[in-house]
C-alpha cells in the first residue's frame, strides 16, 4: 500500500508551519502569546485547536497537513523549554539573528531531553487526518541563536548537542507515522560562514537515520518590525540563498522551503537546489492582503522554469501565527486553489 506521501498529486500544497491560534487559546496576532487556559483545560484546548487547524487546511485543499503549531507558544522556545540544562527563569538580553535584541533563556549545563517532547502531539495529528502530515522542529543553529550559552562556550558544540537530541526526537516521530519532518533554520540566512563550517553538518546529524522525508525551512522571518526593517537593507536582489543552496544540494536533506512571494529573491536561485524537492513560498506572510489563486498560480508557473514539476511543493513563505485568523484562512484557500489551477494545466496541457 502506498503511504500518504507516495499518494500525493502533483503540486501538493503545504504550509511552512504555524497558523494563528483561536482567541480562546492564546492572545491573537502575537508571537509567543501566553496561554489563556491552564491545566486540563489547556490540554483540551490545544487539541481542539489542532482539530480546527487540520480542518482549515483540509478544506483549503492543503495536501501535506501540519498541526499549525497549536500546542507550542513559540517555534524555538516551545521545544527548548522541554529540555534540561536551560534556565527559562533568569533570561538574558542578547542580539539574535544579528539584528534584534531579545530576552532569551540561558544554557547553564549539558542540554538533555528527559522525555520525548512531541510524541503525543504526533499521535493525535496522525489520528486526526488521513492526509500526509508534516511536523516542524527548530533547527540546531536557530536554537543556538535563540539562547545565551554559559556552558558550552561554543556555538558549534552546543549545536551538535541539540542535533543529537533532535535526531532522537525525529526518529521517534517518523516511527509514529510523520511523512515530513521539517527543521526551521532562519539562522541559515544570516550566518553564512557557520552554515558552511558546521550548520549543514548539524542539520545532517539531526536527520541521520530518520525514516521519513526531511526538510529545512529557511526564511527572512515573520512580518515583524525588526525583520521588515532588516529586509529594507538587503538591497534590490536578495541573494542570501546563493550561499546555502549549493551546500544543501549536496546534503542528505530531501526538501528545502524558501521565501518567494513578494520577496526580492531571484527565482533562478532555485536551480541551485537540483535533486531536491523545493517548497516554493507562494504566500506572503508579512501583509494582510489575501492573494488571489491566480497570483499563487503565477508564482508556481514562474518557479517551474527552475524546478521540475514533480519536485515543486507550493507553500507559504513562513509561519502565519501573527496574522488574523480570517486572513490566514483566506491565504490558505488561495494556496490550495492556486496549486489546483496549475495541477489542472499540467494534467490537461493547453487548456489554461
Ligand atoms: Zn520562517
The residue ranges of DSSP E strands in the chain, in sequence order, are: 64-65, 84-96, 100-112, 132-138, 148-149, 180-184, 213-218, 255-258, 277-283, 312-316
Q: How far is the CA of 60 from the centre of ligand 1 (A)?
A: 21
Q: How far is the CA of 213 from the centre of ligand 1 (A)?
A: 19
pLDDT digits (tens, 9 = 90+) for 285-300: 999 999 999 999 999 9
CB 21 within 8 A of CB 66: no
Please report the pLDDT score of residue 191 as a whole number. Answer: 96
Q: How far is the CA of 106 from the centre of ligand 1 (A)?
A: 23
pLDDT digits (tens, 9 = 90+) for 33-61: 999 999 999 999 999 999 999 999 999 99
Q: Which three cell numbers stand for residue 174?
A: 517518523
pLDDT digits (tens, 9 = 90+) for 10-35: 999 999 999 999 999 999 988 889 99
pLDDT digits (tens, 9 = 90+) for 292-322: 999 999 999 999 999 999 999 999 999 999 9
Q: How far is the CA of 349 from the centre of ligand 1 (A)?
A: 34
* Matching residue, cell 502565519: 320
Please report the pLDDT score of residue 349 as a whole number. Answer: 67
- CB neighbours of 85 closer than 8 A, spacing ≥ 6? 107, 108, 109, 110, 111, 112, 151
Q: How far is the CA of 17 from the centre of ligand 1 (A)?
A: 8
- Using alpha carbons, list the distances in angstroms from residue 244 to 22, 186, 206: 36, 12, 17
Q: 244, 182, 228: which is closest to 18 by C-alpha?
A: 182
Please report the pLDDT score of residue 350 as a whole number. Answer: 61
Q: How far is the CA of 194 from the centre of ligand 1 (A)?
A: 19
CB 8 within 8 A of CB 277: no
Q: How far is the CA of 209 from the centre of ligand 1 (A)?
A: 25
Q: How far is the CA of 280 from the centre of ligand 1 (A)?
A: 12
Q: Report, as an integer, the average pLDDT of 152-174.
A: 98
Cα–Cα distance between 240 and 187 in angstroms, integer?
11
Q: How far is the CA of 320 from the centre of ligand 1 (A)?
A: 9
Confidence of residue 225 (pLDDT cuts 50, 70, 90): confident
Grouping H, G, I as helix, E, B as strand and the rest as coil, residue 69 is coil
Q: How far is the CA of 236 from the centre of ligand 1 (A)?
A: 21
| H helix and E strand count, the chain | 11, 10
Cα–Cα distance between 128 and 57 in angstroms, integer?
12
Please report the pLDDT score of residue 320 as a whole number. Answer: 95
Q: How far is the CA of 317 from the centre of ligand 1 (A)?
A: 7
Q: Which three cell numbers stand for residue 120?
A: 503525543
Q: Centre a 10 Å sphere on the Cβ of residue 213 and count the other Cβ atoms it contains.
A: 20
Q: How far is the CA of 308 from the centre of ligand 1 (A)?
A: 23
pLDDT more than 90, % of the chain: 88
Q: Report, as an integer, the average pLDDT of 73-85.
A: 95
Q: How far is the CA of 316 from the centre of ligand 1 (A)?
A: 9
Q: How far is the CA of 231 from the centre of ligand 1 (A)?
A: 14
Please report the pLDDT score of residue 347 as a whole number. Answer: 81
Say yes or no to pLDDT of 227 above 60. yes
Confidence of residue 262 (pLDDT cuts 50, 70, 90): confident
Q: Which three cell numbers stand for residue 79?
A: 521545544
Q: How far is the CA of 257 from the centre of ligand 1 (A)?
A: 9
Cα–Cα distance between 32 and 191 in angstroms, integer?
24
Please report the pLDDT score of residue 33 as a whole number. Answer: 92
Q: Which three cell numbers stand for residue 29?
A: 496576532
Q: How far is the CA of 281 from the centre of ligand 1 (A)?
A: 10
Q: Report, as an integer, the average pLDDT of 108-114.
A: 98
- In CATH, which of 3.20.20.210, 3.40.640.10, 1.10.8.100, 1.10.1450.10 is domain 40-70+120-140+163-346? 3.20.20.210
Grouping H, G, I as helix, E, B as strand and the rest as coil, residue 119 is helix
Q: How far is the CA of 285 from the centre of ligand 1 (A)?
A: 9
Q: Report, as an integer, the average pLDDT of 58-77.
A: 96
- CA angle at residue 138 from 250 to 205, to 5 degrees? 40
The model's pTM is 0.96
Q: How far is the CA of 217 from the centre of ligand 1 (A)?
A: 6
Q: How far is the CA of 347 from the centre of ligand 1 (A)?
A: 31
Say how many Å lie between the first and final Cα of the chain, rounded: 34
- CB neighbours of 282 closer than 8 A, spacing ≥ 6? 260, 261, 291, 296, 299, 300, 314, 315, 316, 335, 338, 339
Q: Which range (11-15, 83-87, 132-136, 230-234) has the least confidence?
A: 230-234
Q: Supply the DSSP string of 70-91, one letter for each residue.
A: TT-SSTTHHHHTTSEEEEEEEE
Phi, psi (5° rounding) for residue 306?
-120, -15
Q: Which three cell numbers stand for residue 8?
A: 500525493
Q: How far is the CA of 172 from the centre of ligand 1 (A)?
A: 24
What is the chain's percent helix, strand, coil content, to nearest 5? 40, 20, 40
Confidence of residue 228 (pLDDT cuts 50, 70, 90): confident
> Domain ranges in the chain?
40-70+120-140+163-346
Q: How far is the CA of 154 from the centre of ligand 1 (A)?
A: 25
Q: How far is the CA of 348 from the centre of ligand 1 (A)?
A: 34
Mean pLDDT value across the chain: 95
Say yes or no to pLDDT of 192 above 70. yes
- Using alpha carbons, list the distances in angstroms from residue 133 to 60, 71, 200: 15, 16, 24
Say yes or no to pLDDT of 164 above 80. yes
Q: Supply the DSSP string of 93-115, one letter for each residue.
A: EEEETTTEEEEEEEEEEEEE-SS
pLDDT more than 70, % of the chain: 99
Q: Length of the chain, please?
A: 352
Q: How far is the CA of 237 from the centre of ligand 1 (A)?
A: 19
Q: Report, as an integer, the average pLDDT of 132-160.
A: 98
Q: How far is the CA of 211 from the centre of ligand 1 (A)?
A: 24
Say yes or no to pLDDT of 351 above 60. no
Amino acid at each position: 500500500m502506498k503511504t500518504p506521501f507516495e499518494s500525493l498529486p502533483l503540486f501538493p500544497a503545504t504550509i511552512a508551519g504555524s497558523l494563528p491560534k483561536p482567541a480562546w487559546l492564546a492572545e491573537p496576532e502575537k508571537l509567543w502569546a501566553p496561554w489563556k487556559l491552564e491545566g486540563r483545560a489547556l490540554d483540551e484546548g490545544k487539541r481542539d485547536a489542532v482539530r480546527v487547524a487540520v480542518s482549515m487546511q483540509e478544506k483549503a485543499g492543503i495536501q501535506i497537513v501540519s498541526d499549525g503549531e497549536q500546542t507550542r507558544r513559540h517555534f524555538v522556545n516551545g521545544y527548548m523549554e522541554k529540555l534540561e540544562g536551560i534556565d527559562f527563569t533568569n533570561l538574558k538580553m542578547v542580539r539574535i539573528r544579528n539584528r534584534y535584541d531579545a530576552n532569551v533563556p540561558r544554557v547553564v549545563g549539558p542540554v538533555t531531553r528527559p522525555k520525548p517532547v512531541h510524541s503525543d502531539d504526533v499521535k493525535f495529528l496522525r489520528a486526526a487526518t488521513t492526509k500526509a502530515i508534516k511536523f516542524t522542529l527548530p533547527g540546531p543553529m536557530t536554537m543556538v541563536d535563540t539562547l545565551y550559552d554559559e556552558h558550552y562556550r561554543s556555538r558549534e558544540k552546543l549545536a551538535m548537542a541539540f542535533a543529537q537530541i533532535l535526531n532522537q526526537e525525529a526518529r521517534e516521530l517518523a516511527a509514529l507515522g510523520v511523512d515530513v519532518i521539517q527543521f526551521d533554520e532562519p539562522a541559515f540566512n544570516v550566518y553564512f560562514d557557520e552554515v558552511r563550517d558546521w550548520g549543514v553538518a548539524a542539520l545532517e546529524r539531526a536527520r541521520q537515520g530518520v525514516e521519513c522525508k526531511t526538510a529545512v525551512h529557511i526564511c527572512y522571518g515573520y512580518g515583524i518590525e525588526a525583520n521588515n526593517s532588516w529586509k529594507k537593507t538587503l538591497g534590490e536582489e536578495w541573494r542570501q540563498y546563493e550561499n546555502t543552496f549549493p551546500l544543501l544540494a549536496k546534503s542528505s536533506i530531501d526538501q528545502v522551503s524558501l521565501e518567494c512571494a513578494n520577496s526580492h529573491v531571484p527565482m533562478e536561485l532555485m536551480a541551485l537546489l537540483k535533486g531536491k524537492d523545493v517548497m516554493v513560498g507562494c504566500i506572503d506572510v508579512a501583509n494582510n492582503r489575501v492573494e488571489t489563486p491566480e497570483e499563487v498560480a503565477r508564482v508556481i508557473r514562474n518557479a517551474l522554469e527552475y524546478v521540475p514539476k514533480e519536485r515543486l511543493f507550493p507553500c507559504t513563505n513562513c509561519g502565519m501565527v501573527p496574522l488574523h485568523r480570517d486572513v490566514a484562512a483566506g491565504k490558505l484557500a488561495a494556496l490550495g486553489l492556486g496549486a489546483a489551477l496549475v495541477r489542472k494545466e499540467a494534467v490537461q496541457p493547453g487548456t489554461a
